Amino acid sequence: MQKTASVDSIFLQPFTIKPEMQFKRKHLLGLEELTAEEIRMILDTAVPFKEISERQIKKVPVLRGKTIINLFFEPSTRTRTSFEFAEKRLSADTINISASQSSVVKGETLVDMARNLEAMRIDMVVIRHSASGAPAFLSERIDSNVINAGDGWHEHPTQGLLDMLTLRDRFGKLEGLKVVIVGDVVHSRVARSDIWGLKKMGARVGVCGPPTLVPRSLEALGVEVYHRIEDVLAEADAINVLRIQLERMQSNLFPSLGEYNRLYGISTEKLERAGRDVLILHPGPMNRGVEIDSDVADGEHQVILRQVTNGVAVRMAVLFLLAGGKPASAAEVPSMLE
Amino acid sequence: MNRLLIRGGQLVDPRNEIDEKLDILLAEGKVAEIGKGLSVGRGTKVLEAEGRMVVPGLIDMHVHLREPGREDEETVESGCLAAAAGGFTAVAAMPNTDPVTDNQAAIGYIIREAIRAGHSRVYPVGAITKEIKGESLAEMGGMIDAGAVAFSDDGHCVASAEVMRKAMTYSLIFDVPVIQHCEDPTLVGAGVMNEGIVATRLGLAGIPTESEEIIVYRDCTLARLTGARFHVAHISCARSVEVVRKFKAEGVRVTAEATPHHFSLTEKAVDGYNTNARMAPPLRTGADVKALRKGLADGTIDCIASDHAPHHYDEKEAAFADAPNGVIGLETSFALSYTELVKGGALDFSTLIRRMSTAPAEILKLPGGSLGKGDPADVTVLDIDTQWVIDKNKFCSKSRNTPFHGRKVSGRAVATVVGGKIVWQL
């Protein structure tokens, strides 16, 4: 009972109160520019929001009356519905716009579209775009809060945050953890956000894949570069397995999906040979049999579905904090370790 | 009639080895007399140049005038006015217009428009291949007849070694330079900036310097094979400079130019997804900037050229990967060159004028680039003392896409004289 009371006390506060310790940024464009404090603030605030999603009535009124547009220029089921759930559970009014149905087809520029929407007085824009820097571009030109739901190869901050929440839940901390991102790192916004976020929080980060997808030049980001998955499985506490895209094969980055699976695919066999527990994450959607085998994807070492659950909570926290909500502190929130 | 006396300035003419306080009298479109205390005859206009540098008219051998096709970005007229404002008495205009300037009539059109505008001179560069497709040779002879001074598919690289070899061989009839935009398109791919740590952080596709080095090396080898005159456009990296140095030492007829943005900025200028820092070839690293400056100092790089590339505001107002390549440069070229290279200690003033006037004239075999008796009356009067702030809103160019807005610089044209007539005065 005490748990519910403390959660509700945070969320039933009138919204006009601006507390001392507040999330001071107007936008969430990436994790590279956030401090460890800010990341911790978001993760801590996500914890009580997880509880709301477990209730019968999954709603709190904190964003009631706020209008949020989900502007998705790239297809997405997972991220968009996750944001939509987050927004609706916070009682915001949401509208979804996807590129193919939008005026982009008629040649309208990104800025014009956003300005038109803004003229209808929206509060927040959640944007996914194929061009790195598009959310930053938008944030410099409109007044609403801008949340990056993935821009080109640049960042996917809410994904990085939910990955960190999932790891923190399992291990109790992030500092000192050895986390390796496996797959097409060079083209991955998830990888970049993970790298910035985890390093900020004191984890040791590695990347693994063929040199065409994981060049040694990535060491400049402060990560360890591996080209053999066996070396990774011998050392890592957790791995984040990225999806391999078919298009990459066509640009001579690796010869076939079969070969990729043999060399880097996460299989029960490889895990058994490693002989240690490695936690397995995947941002989804999965190509079963390519970067991850089915038995692993459904097995005991993975936390893929927990990532999805944490995703909604993290997005609720981000929207809440950007709208001026009071962050939860670790002391207020009951421990939710698994 | 038609007489102009430029009085009291420091005359610097590298070709004739002059660096002295001298008056210069221009008459009937030519240099009539140079001396101390020249008298003002009847009907002679006087331009006071006390405290100024008086040099042979600056020549920018790489500009895009966008006409025909993109008159919203620039026209021959506005481009020539921008050139004059930058102190340039002549420019060489690249042929990647729409339609492409790959024939006699198109070359003639550009020249006529420039004469009509009456600001700086224009020497058109004709396309190497028809429609700049890189496949079959355009009519070089016809274009030379109409007034073309060199050939280039600039904007694009002639990717086929076979086509480049044939072009170089054929160009020997006219003994004009074949100018290459050195970027292997397959290595450039979808790249939008220099391959390196900044691209990795920003999540942008990178272009390795090797994409340039490979073509520079390849085409220097072809120049050696054919004996043709080969010019490297906008050289951007240290390794390319080393290649040019090597082949020059072997006696190959290779020349090279560098742009002010390449020797003033690095890839860091892209931070924040600044589309006015996007151009081809891209901005490189500090080590490359150093090598370009050294190349300009020791003559491996023969001249400075702006690659003035106007783009409409709407097109640069986009996410980085969606914005076109190119920055303007006519109205900032001298200031940046003077501030970064002369004040920066890499070159002395006379060498700078060699790079900005003497050498371009020699490479393109143009009249001008010197102020001997009988030379064309093309003169630039420069103020190298006053500091000023670059303000893109005051540009004569129709476009505003510059990375240098707000930058404090020294060096500015205060008067530009073409054919004895003042076409620009500050």
Regarding whether A271 and A146 lie in a shared domain, the answer is no
Domain for residue A333, yes or no?
A: no
Summary mean pLDDT of chain B = 97
Domain for residue A329, yes or no?
A: no
Q: Each residue of B260-272: pLDDT tens digit?
A: 999 999 999 999 9
Regarding whether A241 and A108 lie in a shared domain, the answer is no
Q: Each residue of A202-219: pLDDT tens digit?
A: 999 999 999 999 999 999
User: A1 pLDDT band (50/70/90 cuts)?
Assistant: very low
pLDDT of B174 strictly over 90: yes
User: Which pLDDT score, from 0 to 100, does residue B221 have?
Assistant: 98
A99 CB within 8 Å of a chain B CB: no
The secondary element (H helix, E strand) that includes residue B105 is: helix B104-117
Q: Each residue of A96-125: pLDDT tens digit?
A: 988 776 666 666 788 788 788 888 889 999
* The pair of three-digit structure tokens given for residue B99, joined into one six-digit string: 């339609």
Domain for residue A331, yes or no?
A: no
Residue B150, CA distances (Å) to A254, B127, B140, B176, B374 in order: 43, 9, 9, 5, 25
Asked if the interface predicted TM-score (ipTM) of this complex is over 0.95, the answer is: no
Q: Each residue of B7-55: pLDDT tens digit?
A: 999 999 999 999 999 999 999 999 999 999 998 888 899 999 999 999 9
Mean pLDDT of the A71-80 span: 90
Mutation pick from B186, B187, B202 vs chain A, by most beta carbons of A within 10 Å, is B202
Check CB contact under 8 Å for B318 and A110: yes
User: Which pLDDT score, from 0 to 100, does residue A111 have?
Assistant: 79
Domain for residue A245, yes or no?
A: yes
Regarding whether A43 and A138 lie in a shared domain, the answer is yes
Summary mean pLDDT of chain A = 88
User: Which pLDDT score, from 0 to 100, does residue B201 have?
Assistant: 96
Kindly give, in sequence order, each residue whose CB lies less than 8 Å from that of residue A135, ignoring residues fewer than 6 positions away.
A27, A29, A127, A129, A146, A147, A148, A151
pLDDT of B168 strictly over 70: yes
- Give the CATH number, domain containing residue A289: 3.40.50.1370
* The pair of three-digit structure tokens given for residue A319, joined into one six-digit string: 């929207």
**Per-residue DSSP letters for A105-119?**
GGT--HHHHHHHHHH
In whole angstroms, give the CA distance from residue B309 to residue B304. Answer: 15
First CA to last CA distance, chain B: 24
Kindly give, in sequence order, each residue whose CB lies less than 8 Å from that of residue B60, ignoring residues fewer than 6 positions away.
B83, B86, B88, B90, B91, B92, B305, B306, B308, B330, B333, B356, B360
Domain for residue A328, yes or no?
A: no
Q: Each residue of A299-315: pLDDT tens digit?
A: 999 999 999 999 999 99
Regarding whether A223 and A125 lie in a shared domain, the answer is no
A151 CB within 8 Å of a chain B CB: yes
User: Which pLDDT score, from 0 to 100, does residue A267 have?
Assistant: 96
In whole angstroms, give the CA distance from residue B350 to residue B255. Answer: 19
What amino acid positions of B are annotated as catalytic residues?
307
Check CB contact under 8 Å for A109 and B317: yes
Check CB contact under 8 Å for B320 and A132: yes
Regarding whether A313 and A291 lie in a shared domain, the answer is no
Of A32, A111, A132, which is closest to B204 when you measure between CB atoms?
A132
**Per-residue DSSP letters for B260-326?**
HHHHH--GGGGTTT-GGG--SSPP--HHHHHHHHHHHHHTSS-EE---B----HHHHSS-GGGSPS-
Q: Each residue of B43-78: pLDDT tens digit?
A: 899 999 999 999 999 999 999 999 999 999 999 999
Q: Each residue of B260-306: pLDDT tens digit?
A: 999 999 999 999 999 999 999 999 999 999 999 999 999 999 999 99
Kindly give, in sequence order, each residue whose CB lies less than 8 Å from that of residue B173, ignoring residues fewer than 6 positions away.
B140, B141
Amino acid residing at A13: Q
Residue of B nearest to A154 (CA): B203
In whole angstroms, give the CA distance from residue B86 to residue B88. Answer: 6
Phi/psi at B363 (5° precision): -60, -45
Mean pLDDT of the B410-418 span: 98
User: A13 pLDDT band (50/70/90 cuts)?
Assistant: very low
**Per-residue DSSP letters for A141-200?**
T-SSEEEEEEETTTB-HHHHHHHHHHHHHHHS--TT-EEEEES--TT-HHHHHHHHHHHH
Residue numbers of A between 256 and 285 with CB closer than 8 Å to B: none
First CA to last CA distance, chain A: 20
User: A266 pLDDT band (50/70/90 cuts)?
Assistant: very high
A109 CB within 8 Å of a chain B CB: yes
Q: Each residue of A14-41: pLDDT tens digit?
A: 443 344 457 889 999 999 999 999 999 9
Regarding whether A181 and A101 lie in a shared domain, the answer is no
A324 sits in the region (left: phi over 0; alpha: psi -120 to 50; else beta) called left
Residue numbers of B between 195 and 224 with CB closer than 8 Å to A: 196-197, 200-205
Regarding whether A214 and A121 lie in a shared domain, the answer is no
Regarding whether A168 and A62 lie in a shared domain, the answer is no
A172-194 burial, b at 16+ Cβ within 10 Å, e below that, comes to eebeebbbbbbbbbbbbbbbbbb
Residue appearing with tokens 């944001």: A83
User: Which pLDDT score, from 0 to 100, does residue B2 have?
Assistant: 85
Domain for residue A223, yes or no?
A: yes
Regarding whether A245 and A317 lie in a shared domain, the answer is no
In whole angstroms, give the CA distance from residue B4 to residue B2. Answer: 7
Domain for residue A315, yes or no?
A: yes
Amino acid residing at B35: G
Check CB contact under 8 Å for A151 and B203: yes
Domains of chain B: 3-53+376-425 (2.30.40.10), 57-363 (3.20.20.140)
To the nearest whole percent, how much of chain B has pLDDT over 70? Answer: 100
- Structural domain that includes position A192: 157-300
Regarding whether A80 and A35 lie in a shared domain, the answer is yes
Domain for residue A22, yes or no?
A: yes
Regarding whether A169 and A30 lie in a shared domain, the answer is no
Check CB contact under 8 Å for B202 and A132: yes
More confident residue, B76 or A329: B76
Give chain A's domain count: 2
Regarding whether A165 and A125 lie in a shared domain, the answer is no
Task: Give SS3 for B382.
Answer: strand
Indicate the pairing of strand B30-35 with strand B303-304: unpaired
* Beta-ladder partners of B126: B151
